[in-house]
């Protein structure tokens, strides 16, 4: 009696394995789940910052209006600042402003990194000072650029 019971257990085990293999072979190919397809936070933040800078420097205006790169000055020479009009700009003005914004973001990132270096005070202070200087320089030059643009300077 014990021998037949053991044979029945072996058959059921083999039958379960064969049926499991058939189910495995016939399964439907599924697409990756949403958890596997999530991009990194750094990538999302980088794309958002790049899009914000593109909007702030007037990228849509440049794409739609196709402005000039440089303008002749009234006296002599050339300039890239469209003076007297806040509603018009040159491509070079957009590029300079975008470069200043990118440098400003780098300065702000240095400020962030300086807070993470609590056990290395020399490096933390160095990054803090350099970050503050970069942010102040960018604020000064963007203000100067805007003053030149509106003709207040």
Q: What is the pLDDT of residues 76-109, one digit of tens each?
A: 777 777 777 778 888 888 899 999 999 999 999 9
pLDDT of 9 higher than 90: no
Say if residue 23 is in the same domain as residue 70: no
Say if residue 55 is in the same domain as residue 15: no
- The verdict on residue 47 lying in a domain is yes
CA atoms of 132 and 28, how far apart (whole Å) = 57
Instruction: Return the pLDDT at 81.
Output: 79
Instruction: Return the pLDDT at 22.
Output: 62
- Which residue spans within 14-148 are E strands per DSSP? 71-72, 78-79
Say if residue 94 is in the same domain as residue 126: yes
Task: Return the structure tokens found at 37.
Answer: 């397809």
- Residue 30's pLDDT band (boundaries 50, 70, 90)? low
pTM, full prediction: 0.70
| Backbone torsions φ then ψ of 78, nearest 5 degrees | -130, 155
Sign of the dihedral defined by the CA atoms of residues 96, 97, 98, 101, in that order: positive
Say if residue 48 is in the same domain as residue 22: no
Say if residue 70 is in the same domain as residue 18: no
Alpha-carbon Rg for the chain, nearest whole angstrom, is 32
In three-state secondary structure terms, 38 is: coil
Say if residue 58 is in the same domain as residue 8: no
- The verdict on residue 35 lying in a domain is no
CA atoms of 48 and 50, how far apart (whole Å) = 5
Counting other chains too, the contacts that 138-145 makes at CB distance below 8 Å and 24 or more residues apart are: 138/100, 138/101, 138/103, 138/104, 138/107, 139/104, 141/100, 142/97, 142/100, 142/101, 142/104, 145/81, 145/93, 145/96, 145/97, 145/100
Say if residue 53 is in the same domain as residue 72: yes
Say if residue 14 is in the same domain as residue 69: no
In three-state secondary structure terms, 68 is: coil
- The verdict on residue 36 lying in a domain is no
CA atoms of 84 and 73, how far apart (whole Å) = 12
Count the domains in the chain.
Answer: 2
Say if residue 75 is in the same domain as residue 134: yes
Q: Lowest-confidence range among 33-37, 61-65, 90-94?
A: 33-37
Instruction: Return the pLDDT at 112.
Output: 92
- The verdict on residue 54 lying in a domain is yes
Could you list the residue range(s) of the whole structural domain that residue 55 is in? 41-150
Q: What percent of the chain has pLDDT over 90?
A: 39
């Amino acid at each position: 009696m014990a021998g037949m019971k053991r044979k029945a257990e072996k058959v059921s085990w083999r039958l379960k394995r064969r049926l499991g293999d058939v189910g495995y072979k016939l399964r439907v190919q599924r697409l990756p789940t949403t958890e596997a397809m999530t991009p990194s936070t750094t990538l999302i933040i980088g794309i958002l910052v790049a899009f914000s800078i593109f909007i702030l420097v007037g990228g849509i205006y440049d794409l739609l209006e196709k402005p000039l790169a440089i303008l002749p000055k009234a006296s002599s020479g050339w300039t890239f600042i469209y003076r007297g009009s806040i509603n018009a700009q040159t491509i070079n003005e957009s590029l300079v402003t975008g470069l200043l914004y990118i440098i400003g973001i780098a300065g702000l990132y240095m400020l962030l990194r300086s807070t993470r270096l609590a056990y290395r005070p020399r490096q933390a202070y160095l990054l803090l000072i350099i970050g503050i200087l970069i942010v102040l320089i960018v604020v000064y030059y963007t203000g100067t650029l805007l003053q030149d643009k509106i003709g207040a300077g």
